[in-house]
């Protein structure tokens, strides 16, 4: 019985891995170059002088794209219609962000200079409803130049940590979802036809619409993968284990210490790193 169960689980795991690999249309790993490791030859071109740094903590990766918030980001050919992701899709990446909110922090962008006609993008920005607080944003545009937006807090304990982010869209259900470290944070259903057929750029670490270059990311981005199916979390790229500080914070929360103070006469319970 146990042997058959193990075989079933192993077979299922292999099938899921093969399925996600077959659905990959571009995979940029930034191992000291900008090549597409999916086999589809959708290589990136540099903007400025991209450099690389250690990707310590990203599973299976040695180097990551090093970004300083000014230049060094990259872009792909704007004429490749497959990068438009006109049906179901998944966009995922690993990021480490330093908390700089002086401008929006673009992770990946697909679009051109037509206002409101960007097929998709994912960024970190200051929450317009809560100044000083950061928000992870996943956007898709409709043909009428309005759009569907998903936003979720990018909590302070994620700053300086390696984080897996993913946005998915299921064309069969019109459902879009936003994930952090494999956990679904927010979702919505599209109510209008989404825009497609845009001959713009895919850019990583900035917004590059063919005319403007804006919103340079600060710190690093690694293992950006585009798939033409809405992947399940079990099919995402392997997600790193949380850091010691994060584990300590979770343990304290589990003990009921998050945001709680001791009775009068005692000091507040210190958080991780204090």
pLDDT of residue 21: 56
Over residues 123-144, the mean pLDDT reads 90
pLDDT in tens, 241-252: 765 444 444 444
Supply the pTM of this predicted model. 0.79
Q: What is the pLDDT of residue 102?
A: 85
Query: Residue 266 pLDDT > 70, yes or no?
Result: no
Q: What is the pLDDT of residue 134?
A: 96
Please write the tens of the pLDDT for every residue from 141-163: 887 778 889 999 999 999 999 99
Residue 123 scores a pLDDT above 90: yes
Place of tokens 């005692």: 266
What confidence score (pLDDT) does residue 249 get?
42
pLDDT value of residue 261 = 32
Mean pLDDT of 62-70: 88
pLDDT of residue 242: 66
pLDDT band for position 12 (cuts 50, 70, 90)? very low
User: Which of the pair, 232 or 10, is modelled with greater confidence?
Assistant: 232
pLDDT score, position 216: 86
| All residues at 6 or more sequence positions from 204 whose CB lies less than 8 Å from its CB, including other chains | 28, 44, 65, 73, 74, 75, 93, 107, 108, 221, 224
Distances (CA, A) of 229 to 46, 52, 78, 88, 258: 28, 30, 21, 5, 38
112 pLDDT tier (thresholds 50, 70, 90): low
How is the chain split into domains, by residue range? Answer: 24-254
Tell me: pLDDT of 273 over 70. no
Decide if pLDDT at 78 tops 60: no
Is 70 exceeded by the pLDDT of residue 232?
yes
* pLDDT tens digits, one per residue of 166-225: 999 999 999 999 999 999 999 999 988 887 666 667 889 987 666 667 788 989 999 999
CATH of 24-254, one of 3.40.640.10, 2.60.120.200, 1.25.40.20, 1.10.3720.10: 2.60.120.200
| DSSP E strand boundaries for 19-133 | 24-28, 44-46, 51-54, 63-68, 74-76, 89-97, 105-111, 120-126
**Residues contacting 53, CB < 8 A, separation 6+:** 63, 64, 66, 220
At which residue do the structure tokens 């995922």 appear? 92
pLDDT given at position 105? 93
The whole-chain average pLDDT of the chain stands at: 79
Question: Per-residue pLDDT for 89 more than 90?
Answer: yes
Q: What angle do CA 70, 153, 200 make, to 5 degrees?
A: 45
């Amino acid at each position: 019985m146990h042997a058959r169960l193990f075989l079933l689980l192993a077979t299922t795991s292999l099938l899921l891995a093969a399925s996600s690999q077959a659905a990959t249309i571009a995979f940029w790993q930034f191992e000291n170059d900008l090549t597409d490791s999916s086999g589809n030859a959708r290589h990136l071109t540099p903007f400025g002088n991209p450099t690389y740094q250690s990707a310590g903590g990203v599973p299976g990766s040695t180097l990551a794209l090093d970004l300083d918030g000014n230049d060094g980001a990259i872009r792909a050919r704007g004429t490749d219609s497959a990068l438009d992701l006109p049906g179901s899709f998944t966009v995922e990446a690993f990021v480490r962000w330093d908390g700089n909110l002086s401008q929006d922090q673009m992770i990946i962008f697909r679009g051109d200079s037509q206002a409101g006609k960007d097929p998709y993008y994912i960024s970190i920005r200051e929450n317009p409803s809560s100044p000083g607080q950061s928000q992870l944003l996943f956007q898709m545009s409709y043909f009428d130049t309005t759009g569907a937006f998903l936003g979720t807090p990018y909590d302070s304990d994620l700053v300086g940590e390696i984080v897996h982010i993913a946005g998915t869209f299921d064309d069969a259900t019109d459902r879009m979802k936003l994930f952090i470290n494999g956990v679904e944070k927010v979702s919505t259903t599209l109510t209008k036809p989404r825009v497609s057929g845009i001959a713009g750029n895919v850019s990583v670490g900035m917004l590059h619409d063919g005319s403007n270059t804006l919103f340079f990311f600060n710190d690093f981005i690694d293992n950006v993968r585009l798939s033409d199916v809405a992947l399940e979390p079990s099919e995402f790229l392997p997600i790193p284990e949380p850091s010691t500080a994060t584990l300590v914070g979770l343990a304290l929360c589990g003990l009921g210490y998050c945001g709680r103070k001791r009775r009068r006469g005692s000091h507040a319970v210190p958080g991780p790193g204090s």
